[in-house]
Structure 1
Amino acid sequence: MNGIAYCTCSLSNNQSVMTSETGLPENWTIRLSKSKGLPYYFNTTTTESRWEPPSDTDTDKLKVYMAEKFSTGNTAPPEGSGQAGKIRCAHLLVKHKDSRRPSSWKESNITRTKEDAMGIILGFETRIRDRSTSLADLAVVESDCSSARKRGDLGFFGRGEMQKEFEEAAFALRPGDMSHAVETASGIHLIERLE
């Protein structure tokens, strides 16, 4: 079985997951960070750990696995955990070949054009606005940002912490609102104000 163990257990803080269902190469597992509560990738042979999946990952299988394990449940922090002058947002990012870093956890080399990326994000926006899905559920499997693990949640941030275009769009939203497409050097975003 190529050294791959089969496991159908859920992640908990001290648990690793190594299944044929993850699409990861041999000796790679998914573990949960104790400090951040986020999944990461760990090689049981070399002890290398990383936030991005290793090369040779079957990204289609990984997307399905991540959707099953991380697209349900509430990742919101407890009430009253906000910080003065800061807001909390989630986003969905679609990168293109001219993005600042044209690679992601899903694709090591993004070759789509900016126009293609805009078409994709507009399709996502339509699906979210007609309530056939949510930004959080789409982010888990479609976002080119590593925040996909947290359903797109970026946590709390204040002014001066994000790219200018992102910040302006985010601070213009009211809690519960979602932006239209926002272009930054990173790619094209949909932003949802959470708090």
Structure 2
Amino acid sequence: MVNTGLPAGWEVRHSNSKNLPYYFNSMTRESRWEPPEDTDLETLKAYMAKYHSGAAAYPDGSNQDDGKIRCSHLLVKHRDSRRPSSWREADITRSKEEAREILRGHQERILEGEIRLGDLATSESDCSSARKKGDLGFFGRGEMQKEFEEPAFALQPGEISDIVDSPSGLHLIERVQ
């Protein structure tokens, strides 16, 4: 049996409606999007990377086609964004400079090691990828807006960009792979 890092009775399942993994306790019938208390997060992270990121599709476990990278991001929209609304706010009225200040605060917390980008994206990102800790999955050149793609491809795995301005809003990008 594969060690997931989850406490006894818990397992990882996949939601077909949201196309996301979730946690289910077969004894209590409880389900949740966040890992339960007492989870070994490092073991869970390794398990999720191996079994729930599409790695099974690639025999070498690389989980990527040639030239593709994987990134997470934290998006803060402003009133001049392409679609100034999100799951967090129906009508975003903040200025671009206000959005920049919000993102600078998030950037400072991340760089100081107070919180990880993905954990912050879950509650603070204006992108629907927030429910996946900002994970955008694998993408190649020409699949993202140029303003986003260029800085993303310039990052090395583990690096986080400075503030990136795109038609969608302002981003912090973390290259995962």
Percent identity between matched residues is 54
Q: Give the aligned partner of residue 20 of structure 2.
A: 37
Indicate which of 148, 170, 175 corresponds to 1:188: 170
Between the aligned partners of 1:34 and 1:135, the Cα distance in structure 2 is 26
Report matched runs for 1:14-93 at 5 Å: 32-33=15-16, 36-37=19-20, 69-70=33-34, 74=45, 75-76=48-49, 77=53, 78=55, 79-93=61-75
Please tell me whether residue 140 in structure 1 is matched to residue 140 in structure 2. no
Q: In 1, Cα distance between the equivalents of 2:162 and 2:90?
A: 27
2:106 to 104, 118, 124: 124
In the TM superposition, residue 156 of structure 1 has moved relative to its aligned partner by: 0.5
The CA deviation at 1:11 is 8.4
Residues 118/84 of structure 1: CA separation in 2 closer, same or farther (3 Å cut):
same
Equivalent residue, structure 2, for 1:56: none
Measure, in 2, the Cα distance between the counterparts of 1:35 and 1:140.
15
Structure-2 separation of matches of 1:189 and 1:33: 28
- For residues 86-144 of structure 1, what are the alpha-carbon distances to aligned partners after superposition, in whole Å with 9 as ceiling and x for unaligned? 00000000000110000000100001110000000011111000000000000000000
- Which residue number corresponds to residue 157 of structure 2? 175
Instruction: Write the deviation string for residues 20-67 of structure 1: whole angstroms up to 9, x where unpaired.
Output: xxxxxxxxxxxx33572268xxxxxxxxxxxxxxxxxxxxxxxxxxxx
Q: Which residue of 2 aligns with 1:44?
A: none
Q: Is the 8 A contact 1:70 1:150 kept in 2?
A: no
| Counterpart residue type for residue 72 of structure 2 | A
Residue of structure 1 equivalent to 2:81? 99
Unmatched segments (≥5 aa) in structure 1: 1-8, 14-31, 40-67
Secondary structure at the counterpart of residue 92 of structure 2 = coil
Question: In the TM superposition, what is the alpha-carbon distance from 1:69 to its structure 2 partner?
Answer: 3.5
TM-aligned CA distance change 1:190 to 1:149, over 3 Å = same
For residues 183 and 89 of structure 1, the distance between their equivalents in structure 2, rounded to whole angstroms, comes to: 16
TM score, norm. by length of structure 2: 0.72
Q: Tell me the C-alpha RMSD between the 2 structures.
A: 2.3
Equivalent residue pairs, number: 141
Structure 2 alignment gaps of length 5 or more: 1-9, 23-31, 36-40, 56-60
